[in-house]
Amino acid sequence: MKIFAVLFFISVFAMGVVVMRMEINRSGREISRLQNQVEVKEARNQYLQLEIARLESPANVSALAREKLGLEFTKPHQVVVLED
């Protein structure tokens, strides 16, 4: 009876270990999948940031301001500098 009980507990423990290992692997796979998604999203985000930078570039803004709004660069003497 004692041997049976010991064998039973060993079996339950072994099952537990197997289930835990499987769960670790499953979570690992999930993390990897999510990491891959994060990498792709980050790359996409980088492209968008760079697109923003391109649109905000002085060359682009000044060309648009000149063409669409007829604006010109301010001359320095037209700027009033406020002292603290």
Partner 1 sequence: MFKRTSPFIYDVKNRMKICGILCLIAPVAIGLRLFYMQTFLHDKFTTKAERAIYNYLAEDRLRGKILDVNGNFLAQSVRTHSCGISKRYVKDKNKTISFLSQTLGIPKQRILEKWNRNRNFFFVAKKIKPDVYMEIVPTLRTPLGQGLDLTPEYERIHPYGNTALDLLGAANSKNFGLSGLEQMYNRELSQDISKKRAKRARRGEIIYDRNLKEHLSVGDVYLTIDLQAQFFAEDALKKAVEEYGAEHGIALVQEPSTGRILAAASYPVKDGQSLAFQFTYEPGSTFKTIAISSALDAGTVTVTDAIDMDGRKWEVARGFTIRDNQHDKDFLSIPEIMQLSSNIGAGKIATELGAKNLFYYLKAYGFGTKTDINFNGEAKGYVPPYNKWTKVDLATKGYGYGISLTPIQLINAYSAIANGGTLMQPHLVDRIEYADGRVEKKAKPVKIRRVIKPQTAQIMTKVLQSVVEAGSGKRAQIKGYTVAGKTGTAEKLSKEGGYGKRSHIVSFCGFVPASKPQFTVLVVLDNPSKYTFGGTAAAPAFKQIAENLLTLKGIAPDQVDFIN
Do 53 and 46 touch, CB atoms closer than 8 A? no
Q: Which residues contact 41 (CB under 8 A, 6 or more apart)?
A: none
CB of 41 to partner 1, least distance (A): 7
Closest among 84, 83, 62, 59 to 73, alpha carbons compared: 62
- Which CB atom, from 6 or from 25, has the smaller least distance to partner 1? 25
Q: What track of x and - describes contact with partner 1 for positions 31 through 50 (by CB under 8 A)?
A: xxx-x---xxx-xx-xx-xx
Question: Position 83: which residue type?
Answer: E
28 binds partner 1 (CB under 8 A): yes
Q: Which residues bind partner 1 (CB under 8 A)?
A: 25, 27-33, 35, 39-41, 43-44, 46-47, 49-51, 53-54, 57-59, 62, 73-81
